[in-house]
Amino acid sequence: MDARLGDVIDDFCVKCRRLTNHSVVSLLNGAAAKVRCRTCYSDHDYRNEQAPPSKKDLKKAELFNAVLSGVAPPPAASEETAAGTDSKKAGKKPGKRAEV
């Protein structure tokens, strides 16, 4: 359904910091582009009823990505290392179960 100027729609208000009724102020390709909060009368872009992420969540994500970028991937087992472990296993004596 296409919105019309003045229609009342729900959206997240940046100033009120909650989901409130808004009036459509401008349209772009038949969809709301700018809206006006009917509680505090502030104009802002239409946010599709989604709250922006909090600064705390953005900081956590940034720190997490920094830690991940600092961690080196585990070294791949080379053929020499794999061959060395096999020769050690071959030199061991068989256990009790193997003798039976």
Q: Tell me: the pLDDT tens digits for 58-82? A: 899 999 988 888 876 767 765 555 5
Per-residue pLDDT of 5-47, as tens digits, reads 999 999 999 898 889 999 999 999 889 999 999 999 999 999 8
- Per the listing, tokens 């229609």 go with 7
Cα separation, 92 vs 34, whole angstroms: 76
Identify any residues that bridge with 23 across adjacent strands, giving them in sequence order: 8, 36
Q: Which two tokens stand for residue 13?
A: 């208000």
| CATH code matching the domain that covers 1-69, chosen among 2.60.40, 1.10.10, 1.10.3470, 2.30.30 | 2.30.30
Q: How far is CA 12 from the centre of its chain?
A: 20
Domain ranges of the chain: 1-69
**pLDDT attached to residue 2:** 79
Radius of gyration for the alpha carbons in the chain, expressed in angstroms and rounded:
31
